A and B are shown apart, each in its own frame.
Chain A
Amino acid sequence: MSWKSVKNILIILLLAVNILLAFFAYNHYVPARITDSNTALSAAKTLRSSGIFVTTELLSVRNDSLDILYTDFDREEYVCLAAAMLLGKEADGIYMLPNGVRAETLDGESAYIGYDMSLEFVARDKKDIIESAVAASNSASGDESEAACALIESRFAIESGSLDRTLCKKSGNIIFVNVQSTENNIPLYSMNAIFGLEGERIVYAEGKHFFGVPLESENAQLLDRINILFSEKERGMRGNVKNIHLCYALYEDSENGRMMYVPSYEIIYDSGKTSVINAISKKLYQSSFQE
């Protein structure tokens, strides 16, 4: 056999081995990141027997991957910062309430900041008109929406362009901007607020918003959707699962002085009820079933 023939055979053999190894490697890695349809079917069947109805399409998906985010957080410092954001200047007085603080200025402005990030603020000179303004507001023009959203994004260190301009409303001189907080396009659960702007001045705020910005991240292994739904089953939940999607849930870690954005799943049932489950620990974060 000539050396030329040996080379040809060697090439063929090496090619075959490479293809085989590539096939094995693919089969090893890729399926681990995808819940296959058989597993999904089996899980759906088990869940159905416990009263949770879910389609295999919702389960047979590529497993989610998301980092935990962190930012420095001190409760007392934060409420002062949040108050200054709303009032336009540092508060002259901070009054402790059971679940939050009321910040006031000497010229009569007052804002409430809840420890759960809830906000309530109406500028003193708008108190008479704000209710009717909120009720009567119509869609703002494109330019007005763009200007208002850009201002909020800049002032609150929100990613430029991330606010939905189409949700802006206007009443008189006040533009109402709907702010659904997101990080990397993942929504922060329940962090939704409406801010009213008159020019560059914030005259209204209602809802929940966290003014912090994540500074660090840590890779986290997330439980898959099947695991999450089984935790719902263990909690005795019942219902038709309409949708499951990822979100960030805020956790306060006072011992380490930080706020954590923890990947979580929001499970939406047909009944409109939702459960939010920590995707790392499987623990319930919040459930409207408890309300």
Chain B
Amino acid sequence: MEKIKLSPLEKAKTAVIAILTVTMLALAALYIGGSQFYTGGAAINVNEMPSGAVTVGETAPKFTAVYEKELLKASFAGIQFNGEGGGAYACEPAASDLISFSLEGIHRLLSSSAKISQSSAAEFEKAVNGNRYICISLLSPLPYQTVYALSGEYIAPASYENAISAEALMLVFDESCNASLYLRDGEKYYISQGEYSISQAELTVMASDSRLHDFEIANGNPISESSPVVQTLSLGVSALFGHDKLEELLKALEYTGNEVQPLATSSSYNVVAPHGVLLINQDKITYTAETEGGIPISSFLGNSKSELDLDMYDILLATVALAEKLCNVLPQSTADLYIEGFYKNDDTYTVVFGGSEGGIPISGDKYPHLMRVTVNGGRFKSIDARLITVEKSGLPFSPFSSAWEYRHAAKSASIHSLGLRYDVKELPVSELNAAWYYTGERQAEK
């Protein structure tokens, strides 16, 4: 059979047909694809900026992680290193410098890479006598997991089979400046060991801070012959909210669209919602959840989480967020917030926030805490927040030194802990001074 030869013109036509077919398919895809899927052009949807973005220069609070909020408060910090050292009360700047310096070590030695084991008073005393340590007395005992969460970025705390509430911490350094961390829980002592060291030069610099004064450790308590300088305070009860503050408060507590019904006293508000009852008095706010109700803590977290996935850290974050929201609604000059307690009983967590001024807690019969919250099943079940104003009044004064107080109290009691406190016996009070209080085998008020 003879092969048919195509002329160049026919070949060209074939090529043109092929090209036109391809372009037709391409244009069809472009048009159909665009008309069916493309939503370009002038924006149809308004996009949102990141929630934290503010106009440059606007006085917006810099984002702070929970460990940067200074919720872990101490009453005293001291250092001994190579024959030099000293301590400072929390109301003194040197103490906060020493505490800031120590936080990384504390955090690292409470992390999952560290190992906690039981120690003893004798070992603790031996470490003290080594004179190479930094000691910190916390304002109140806290679970070591909470100390971990408040001292650095939360990843995973160390694990230990028993609960430990640390009321004092001590970083101890060996000859190579490798650190171990002692925790004192009442009469019990624990040690956490891991990989952490500080350079000798840094420790020497901290120990030679001229602002520090001599101290010693007696029965686990740092005591100093130097007297602290503390401020006299005036405490007041917050005035009843104006309507705008009330709305802010309701918004802060995730209350919306409820009726506000004044009680017969006309000095309080009662707000009822399906999830619980909110009572706002002259000096406090109390919330009590209905049996199956409560305020979901996930609404206080940065991202939504299933109630089943919430852990201790989420509860800490949510309660801190709640406390901050309430404090922001309250008038200015409130007490400094700190975590006073973090407890777990079965499935219920209780978080207590204390108020303090200059590192000295404000508490007493008339003011047991700044806020106390219970959480169960991923919901706030109860909130008790006390509203006071704190103003500095009068001239600062110096109580007796802690060493003098300790010696005096030790005559009639075995001292567990000694610390300053503003004891609130009445509200309002115009000139409230801090005084020494101790706990021991025979508890007695001074």
Contact = CB atoms under 8 A, between A and B. Distances in A.
Nearest to A74: B62
B24 A256 contact: no
B10 A75 contact: no
B45 A21 contact: no
B27 A18 contact: yes
B31 A28 contact: yes
Contact of A33 (B21, B27, B41, B50): B41
A260 interface: yes
Contacts of B8: none
B27 A25 contact: yes
Interface in A32-61: 32-33, 35
Given A28-B34, A115-B57, A281 B27 contact: no
Interface stretch (B11-19, B111-119, B287-295): B11-19
A29 to B, nearest CB: 6
B56 A117 contact: yes
Contacts of B60: 252, 254
A7 B52 CA distance: 65
Contact of B58 (A4, A18, A226, A252): A252
Contacts of B34: 25, 28-29
A63 B44 CA distance: 13
Interface in B54-68: 54-60, 62-63
Contacts, number: 122
How many interface residues does chain B have, given as a range?
35 or more
A281 B17 contact: no
A7 B10 contact: yes
A249 B42 contact: no
A154 interface: no
B27 A22 contact: yes
Contact of B43 (A224, A250, A256): A224
Nearest to B9: A4
B241 to A, nearest CB: 28
A35 B42 contact: yes
A116 interface: yes
Interface in B138-182: none
B303 interface: no
Interface of A: 4, 7-8, 10-11, 14-15, 17-18, 21-22, 24-25, 28-29, 32-33, 35, 63, 75, 98-99, 114-118, 210, 220-224, 226-227, 249-256, 259-260, 262, 278, 280-283, 285-286
Shortest 4 CB-CB contacts between residues of A and residues of B: A116-B57, A32-B41, A255-B52, A14-B20
Interface of B: 10, 13-14, 16-17, 20-21, 23-24, 27-28, 30-31, 34-35, 38, 40-43, 45-60, 62-63
